[in-house]
Amino acid sequence: MNIVLLGAPGAGKGTQAQRLVDEFGVVHISTGDLLRAAVKAQSSLGIQAQSFMKTGALVPDELVIGLVKERLSAPDAAAGFILDGFPRNVAQAQALDAELETLGKSITDALLVDVKNDVIIERLSSRRTCRDCGYMTNAQAASERNNVCPKCSGELYQREDDKPQTIAHRLDVYQQQTFPLISYYEKRGLLVKVDGDRPVDEVYTTVKDRLGL
């Protein structure tokens, strides 16, 4: 199982990926998490990526590809993986195919979680994230806890890329640069599309059915 997750920011890709990981034991590789960790560590890649992430722009291909290539070479990715947040454009998809070929691997499915823009904006703008451990909840739950994380007692805050103006920009970027991936994988017979504007359990049932799991 070597899956690429497709869909706009906030479509629920990460939630579905985690369920697949829990049930089938594959590795969830989120480029968003990898990049945020690099920024927090102030690594060379993190410093370069930080300015792009603050404005909601896509991090340049060469930075992301280098990070993903390193992660895919790790031993725990040998049994299968789910890529979340990469590739984000056709050039990255082609580069990924080339890197996987050198590893003797290939993408088995491109899973598209499809959600309308107005639903995504509502979801993301109400999201709150722990500065320390990355735990996520909604604005109401965070307020009830005085913005204190229930897992590690860190601060729950609204990320810059979860603010309405930045979300709108991210969706514009997605439409312009990432949407063509759907056609790319569809032409290769790898696209699996599910309606993500439903309860999480319903979406996951459909995901497994469409993937033949």
State pLDDT tens for residues 149-186.
Answer: 999 999 999 988 888 888 888 888 888 877 889 999 99
State pLDDT tens for residues 9-47.
Answer: 888 888 899 899 999 989 998 887 888 877 888 877 778
Residues 112-117 have a mean pLDDT of 90
CATH assignment of the domain containing 105: 3.40.50.300
Q: Is residue 39 part of a domain?
A: yes
The pTM for the full model equals 0.73
Q: Which domain does 27 fall in, by range?
A: 2-115+178-211
Residues 85-91 have a mean pLDDT of 86
Residues 105-126 have a mean pLDDT of 90
Q: Is residue 125 part of a domain?
A: no
- What are the distances in angstroms from CA 101 to CA 3, 69, 128, 178, 186? 15, 12, 39, 22, 20
Over the chain, what HEC string results? CEEEEECCCCCCHHHHHHHHHHHHCCEEEEHHHHHHHHHHHCCHHHHHHHHHHHHCCCCCHHHHHHHHHHHHCCHHHCCCEEEECCCCCHHHHHHHHHHHHHCCCCCCEEEEEECCHHHHHHHHHCEEEECCCCCEEEHHHHHHCCCECCCCCCEEECCHHHCHHHHHHHHHHHHHHHCHHHHHHHHCCCEEEEECCCCHHHHHHHHHHHHCC
Q: Is residue 161 part of a domain?
A: no
Residue 106: per-residue pLDDT: 92
Residue 41: per-residue pLDDT: 83
**Is 210 annotated as contributing to ligand binding?**
no
Q: Classify residue 23 as left (phi > 0), alpha (psi -120 to 50) or beta.
A: alpha
Q: How confident is the model at residue 194 (pLDDT cuts 50, 70, 90)?
A: very high
**Is 92 annotated as contributing to ligand binding?**
yes
Is residue 127 part of the annotated active site? The answer reads yes
Is residue 88 part of the annotated active site? The answer reads yes
**Is 188 annotated as contributing to ligand binding?**
no
Q: Which residue has the higher pLDDT, 149 or 70?
A: 149
Q: Is the pLDDT of residue 103 over 90?
A: no
Is residue 193 part of the annotated active site? The answer reads no
Q: Is residue 156 part of a domain?
A: no
Residue tagged active-site, from 69, 105, 159, 163: 159
Residue tagged active-site, from 71, 123, 128, 170: 170
Residue 12: per-residue pLDDT: 87
**Is 58 annotated as contributing to ligand binding?**
yes
Is residue 145 part of the annotated active site? The answer reads no
Q: Which of 144-153, 170-179, 197-206 has the lowest mean pLDDT?
A: 170-179
**Is 60 annotated as contributing to ligand binding?**
no
Q: Is residue 150 part of a domain?
A: no
* Mode of pairing for the β-strands spanning 27-30 and 109-114: unpaired
Q: Which of 12-16, 67-71, 189-193 has the lowest mean pLDDT?
A: 67-71
**Is 170 annotated as contributing to ligand binding?**
yes
Q: Name 177's Cβ contacts closer than 8 Å, sequence gap at least 6.
A: 58, 88, 89
Number of domains, the chain: 1
Is residue 170 part of the annotated active site? The answer reads yes
